[in-house]
Amino acid sequence: MSEKLQKVLARAGHGSRREIEAMIAAGRVSIDGQVAKLGDRVDGRAELKVRIDGHAVSLKAEEEVICRVLAYYKPEGELCSRSDPQGRPTVFERLPRVRDSRWVAVGRLDINTSGLLLFTTDGELANRLMHPSQEVEREYAIRVFGEVTEEMLKNLRTGVELEDGTAQFKRLVPAGGEGLNTWYHGVLSEGRNREVRRLWESQEVQVSRLMRIRYGDITLPKGLPRGGWVELPLEQVNYLRDLVGLERESRTLLAQDKLGARRQKTLKAGKIRRAVHKHRARPAKGRPNKG
């Protein structure tokens, strides 16, 4: 049974479907020595030599792929890209390595935004979660600078015109503080570029700090340090797959017994500490000025 090349490569974790379609269109993908074209179909079980940028990549049948998902606490100052010409840190640098695959980010957070960012080895899952038609809720903790009136809040809840169309908060409620330290919790069901900041800017109010605290029903894990990650259990993986109409996963690489779970927790804590230490030890050259 054949499937579109981009779908097979996305499922195997070589990028989101959109990323892979762009690679194919640019002539960066080949099948058995021939440059691939959009619309090519392959069988994940077949013995085909597929290369991306000249590097051999694995094709996997659907039953061979284990869907994994990470919750990552993105710090301010990290880019949501795989590399940066200026040498600035990226969100991919501290993630655990995966064999014959790679982590695909579910959406993006801008460089000055922190909080919950999901990664998966299943590019098809990432592609569906990011699609605007799914309307997956994203909740943010927002600190604003400037006087906020009830009229402004009403505008933000009912809708304002931005350069890419009407936008609004699905929910927007006060979350404490006063003066320069006033916080709100806001919920969106789209993932437009800088949407939270642009909404507030439409009311001439500046966002001074922004943190994503929830994606769908997945919340930023308590106690997770900035720059730390945790792999989601099968129940939460299947919640995300159910959300976008994908077949449920039956396997996980997480330890099932208590002893194995303790070992994994110790190993994970060590990896996080090393990753955080590596990040802090980076030279200051190229880092953005947070002021």
Residues 148 and 209 in one domain: yes
143 phi/psi in degrees, rounded to 5: -105, 130
- Residues 40 and 128: their CA atoms lie apart, in Å, by 21
Does any domain span residue 143?
A: yes
Task: Evaluate whether 116 touches 149 at the Cβ level (below 8 Å).
Answer: no
List b or e across 119-152, with b for residues whose CB sees 16 or more CB atoms inside 10 angstroms: bbbbbbbbbbbbeeeeebebbbbbbbeeebeeeb
Residues 142 and 210 in one domain: yes
Picking from 4-13, 44-53, 60-69, 158-167, which range would have the lowest pLDDT averaged per residue? 60-69
- Compute the mean pLDDT over every residue in the chain, rounded to the nearest whole number: 86
Measured between alpha carbons, how far is residue 272 from residues 4, 38, 41, 236 in Å?
37, 39, 40, 21
- Residues 210 and 217: their CA atoms lie apart, in Å, by 19
Among the candidates 16, 42, 64, a domain finishes at 64
Angle, in degrees to the nearest 10, between helices 17-25 and 123-130: 110
Picking from 41-55, 137-151, 212-226, which range would have the lowest pLDDT averaged per residue? 41-55
Which domain CATH number covers 248? Answer: 3.30.2350.10
Per-residue tokens: 60: 């996997």
Residues 60 and 76 in one domain: no
The answer to whether residue 256 scores a pLDDT higher than 70 is no
Which domain CATH number covers 48? Answer: 3.10.290.10
Residues 232 and 114 in one domain: yes
- Residues 81 and 93: their CA atoms lie apart, in Å, by 10
The DSSP bridge partners found for residue 223 are none
Residues 32 and 171 in one domain: no
**Could you list the residue range(s) of the whole structural domain that residue 49 is in?**
3-64
Residues 177 and 127 in one domain: no
Picking from 6-15, 141-150, 156-165, which range would have the lowest pLDDT averaged per residue? 6-15
Would you tell me how many other CB atoms lie within 10 Å of the CB of residue 205? 20
Mean pLDDT computed over 258-265: 45
Does any domain span residue 287?
A: no
Tracing tokens 């284990």 back to the chain, one arrives at 66
Nearby residues of 157 by Cβ (< 8 Å), 6 or more positions away: 168, 169, 171, 172
Q: Which amino acid is present at 139? A: E
- Residues 179 and 28: their CA atoms lie apart, in Å, by 53
Q: Write down the pLDDT at residue 232.
A: 96
**188 or 83, higher pLDDT:** 188
At 57, is the secondary structure helix, strand, or coil?
Answer: strand
Residues 145 and 207 in one domain: yes
- Residues 46 and 64: their CA atoms lie apart, in Å, by 13
| Whole-prediction pTM | 0.77
Mean pLDDT computed over 5-14: 85
pLDDT (tens digit, 9 = 90+) per residue, 161-183? 999 899 999 999 999 887 778 89
β-pairing verdict for 114-120 and 206-215: parallel
Taken as a whole, the chain contains a residue count of 291
Residues 31 and 126 in one domain: no
Residues 51 and 174 in one domain: no
Residues 51 and 76 in one domain: no
Per-residue pLDDT band at 99 (split at 50, 70, 90): confident
Residues designated catalytic = 110
pLDDT (tens digit, 9 = 90+) per residue, 105-152? 999 999 999 999 999 998 889 989 988 888 899 999 999 988 899 999
DSSP state of 254: S
Does any domain span residue 53?
A: yes
